Amino acid sequence: MSAAACTAGRSVSPTSTANRPAASVALTHPADPYEAYCANAYSCPHGHVLASLRRPLHLPHPRSGEACPVGCAHSVSPDFGPALGPGPVYPVGLGSKGVLSFVYPPDPKSVYAGSAWGGQKVLWVGRATYRGPVLIRGARLDGSGRIGFGLDIVPWDDLEFPPISELSPPQWRNWPSTTRLRAPGCYGYQVDGLDFSLVIVFRAVLAR
């Protein structure tokens, strides 16, 4: 799949999916202790974000031969490199062209040794104006396969960031992370918050 002119990213109103049943996602990492936020099993059954954030995926799927609709990179702060998507939560570290480079099969001397997944660091940043929880999932758009997260031999199915009580501009929320992949191609993140649901598309290529 070839590269296309970048797109601004896609934001879908969450109101259309808020009343649908939460999608079941089997996490491989233990839930962190956010009992104060997830007061009962019905609020956060899978970890430490609300079940209502687990909206159905609405990732685009380009037709055969169509270019990958990569998100436009732009500056959100002088403290970070180029970011992708309309925000308020952005991935940083995919360069000016929205490309994630990774080694596959994993180098036996790397942190991914012993895993069937390669990976690359991705920093997620969030504007101080949004203090709620964040759920990030993803999948390949031009073929089968999903995106994993974290450094475990079997990656996590998603990233879950709990809410914060206080943060003032120009401060930013930031979450170092690792995106895990098994093949190059066209991929999309879906980023869900209380009042937004974003799609951010990038290309994954094998490092030379």
Window from 17-21, 72-76, 79-83 with minimum mean pLDDT: 17-21
Mean pLDDT of 85-94: 96
The confidence score (pLDDT) of residue 10 equals 64
Residue 136 has pLDDT above 50, yes or no: yes
Of the candidate CATH numbers 3.90.960.10, 2.60.40.2550, 3.10.20.30, 2.40.30.10, the domain formed by 10-206 belongs to 2.60.40.2550
Please compute the mean of the pLDDT values over residues 141-161 and round it to a whole number.
92
Q: Which residue has the higher pLDDT, 55 or 6?
A: 55
Q: For residue 46, give the amino acid letter.
A: H
Q: Is-contact 136 175, C-beta < 8 A?
A: no
The mean per-residue pLDDT over the stretch 143-167 comes to: 90
pLDDT in tens, 18-51: 333 333 333 333 343 344 445 444 445 456 677 8
- On the question of pLDDT at 120 being above 50, the answer is yes
Task: Confirm if 130 and 89 have CB atoms less than 8 A apart.
Answer: yes
First to last CA, the chain: 18
Please tell me the predicted confidence (pLDDT) of residue 51: 82
Q: What's the confidence (pLDDT) of residue 48? A: 62
Share of the chain above pLDDT 90, in %: 63
Q: What is the mean pLDDT of residues 15-20?
A: 38
Contact between residue 188 and residue 199 where contact means Cβ atoms under 8 Å apart = yes
SS3 for 132-169 is: CCEEEEEEECCCCCECEECCCCCCECCEEECCCCCCCC
Angstrom distance (rounded) from CA 117 to CA 5: 29
Query: What is residue 172's predicted lDDT score, i.e. its pLDDT?
Result: 94
Q: What is the mean pLDDT of the chain?
A: 83
What is this structure's pTM?
Answer: 0.81
